[in-house]
């Protein structure tokens, strides 16, 4: 069973590394080892690598590495798009090569040969839609319409001009330094899509996440049914029961032997199933996070803005409460007579700082159905937006 435990440990380590790299900045992992691993993978390891290159090969080689970093991380490039195409193509190839020989089988009909290809084709179509669609570029022609569609809340958005585009900056927009353009209802720049996620293509991005989660779920279940069908067709359980009759004659007792037989005979299928399950769980978490943002009509960019605003307001109110408490303490010392108070009452007295509560007032959250409609049918795709654009001309 040493090989089996080695595979389990390898899977766990891989899952931790992948989750840390992709999800380490999520609020749920704040202050945990996941966040620390994420910091090391995204900053610490690269910093040590740069120091090593500079010390061993000199500054010219380090400048070359920085140039590659600038191209890969700070400029639009198709590297991750190519990686996506390679991953989905290679995965489908190995699934087809290792599993199609057993389809149709005991539990699966032959139609799954074609539905799997259709599912992958739809996934690639959604990928292309998200990658090459306009995220909602703000320019001089439509800026007034976007300002009307997204009014300033004077909390995290106020009237200002984009220092790069030299046009008024609508609320909820941001200038993307990678794409070098202002994007309406900016969420984030997605390296996998080589495109910003904004007002116009959030719907495609959400469909992409949901569909690829369903593909992973479909693949995991289908491969599991292929393996279950092979167990049934080859009567492995009956044979093992006969071999171990009188010693281990229940299915649970035979489970380690069945797993060992599967790992020895169908290790490729099991690795594919584990891979799809891990990616599916990551996609489910990512989709759930963005679905929550859509339901509350918030973007990833606004999440960080609200965090900064709430933290600033909390510090400001705590300073005011502390100043007021200090003033009351000084006034109490100066007073001639002080009523004696119980030490226990003073011990259990609630601190004024505990009453400091900051309420997030999101004026763009107009209810579940309105928020979902805004994602499915963005303002710029509506007839009223087009009419306002024609009037402004």
Residues recognised as catalytic: 190
185 touches 378 (CB < 8 A): yes
What distances in angstroms separate CA 44 from CA 41, 47, 178, 312, 313, one per listed residue?
6, 5, 23, 28, 32
d(CA 127, CA 383): 27
75 in helix, strand or coil? coil
Helical (H) or strand (E) element with 312: helix 300-334
Peptide bond into 71 cis (omega under 30): no
**In degrees, to the nearest 5, what angle opens at C-alpha 25 toward C-alphas 172 and 135?**
35
d(C-alpha 218, C-alpha 230), whole Å: 18
Residue showing tokens 């690795």: 271
State in Å, rounded, how far the first CA of the chain is from the last one: 74
Rounded-to-5 percentages of helix, strand, coil across the chain = 70, 5, 25
Match 């491969």 to its residue by tokens.
223
The candidate with the shortest Cα–Cα distance to 292, out of 209, 387, 381, 173, is: 209
Q: Check: CB of residue 219 under 8 Å from CB of residue 103.
A: no
Instruction: Answer yes or no: are the C-beta atoms of 221 and 95 closer than 8 Å.
Output: no
List the beta bridge partners of residue 189: 196
SS (H, E, C) 251-300: HHHHHHHHHHHHHHHCHHHHHHHHHHHHHHHHHHHHHHHHHHHHHCCCCH
Going by the DSSP 8-state scheme, the letter that residue 183 receives in this structure is E
Judging by beta carbons within 10 Å of its beta carbon (0-12, 13-18, 19+), is residue 74 exposed, middle or buried? Answer: exposed
Q: What is the CA radius of gyration of the chain?
A: 29
């Amino acid at each position: 069973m040493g090989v089996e435990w080695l595979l389990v440990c390898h899977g766990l380590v891989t899952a931790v590394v992948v989750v840390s790299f992709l999800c380490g900045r999520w609020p749920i992992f704040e202050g945990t080892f996941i966040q620390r691993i994420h910091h090391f993978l995204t900053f610490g390891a690269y910093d040590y690598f740069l120091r090593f290159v500079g010390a061993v090969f000199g500054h010219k080689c380090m400048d070359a590495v920085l140039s590659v970093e600038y191209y890969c991380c700070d400029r639009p490039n198709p590297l991750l798009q190519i990686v996506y195409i390679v991953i989905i193509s290679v995965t489908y190839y190995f699934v087809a090569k290792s599993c199609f020989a057993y389809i149709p089988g005991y539990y699966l009909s032959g139609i799954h040969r074609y539905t799997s290809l259709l599912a992958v084709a739809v996934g690639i179509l959604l990928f292309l839609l998200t990658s090459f669609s306009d995220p909602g570029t703000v320019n001089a022609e439509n800026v007034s319409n976007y300002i009307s569609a997204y009014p300033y809340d004077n909390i995290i958005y106020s009237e200002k001009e984009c220092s790069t585009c030299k046009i008024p900056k609508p609320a909820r927009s941001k200038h993307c330094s990678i794409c070098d353009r202002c994007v309406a209802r900016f969420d984030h720049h997605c390296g996998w899509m080589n495109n910003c996620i904004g007002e116009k293509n959030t719907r495609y991005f959400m469909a992409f996440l949901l569909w690829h989660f369903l593909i992973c779920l479909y693949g995991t279940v289908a491969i599991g049914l292929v393996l279950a069908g092979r167990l049934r067709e080859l009567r492995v359980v009956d044979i093992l029961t006969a071999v171990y009759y009188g010693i281990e004659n229940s299915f649970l007792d035979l489970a380690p032997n069945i797993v060992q037989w599967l790992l020895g005979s169908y290790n490729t299928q099991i690795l594919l199933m584990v891979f799809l399950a891990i990616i599916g769980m990551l996609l489910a978490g990512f989709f759930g996070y963005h679905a929550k943002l859509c339901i509350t009509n918030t973007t990833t960019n606004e999440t960080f803005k609200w965090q900064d605003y709430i933290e600033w307001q909390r510090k400001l109110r705590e300073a005011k409460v502390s100043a007021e408490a200090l003033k009351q303490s000084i006034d109490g010392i100066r007073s001639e007579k002080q009523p004696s108070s119980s030490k226990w009452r003073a011990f259990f007295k609630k601190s004024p700082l505990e009453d400091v509560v900051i309420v997030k007032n999101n004026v763009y959250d107009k209810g579940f159905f309105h928020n979902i409609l805004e994602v499915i049918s963005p303002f710029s795709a509506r007839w009223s937006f087009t009419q306002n654009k024609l009037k402004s001309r």
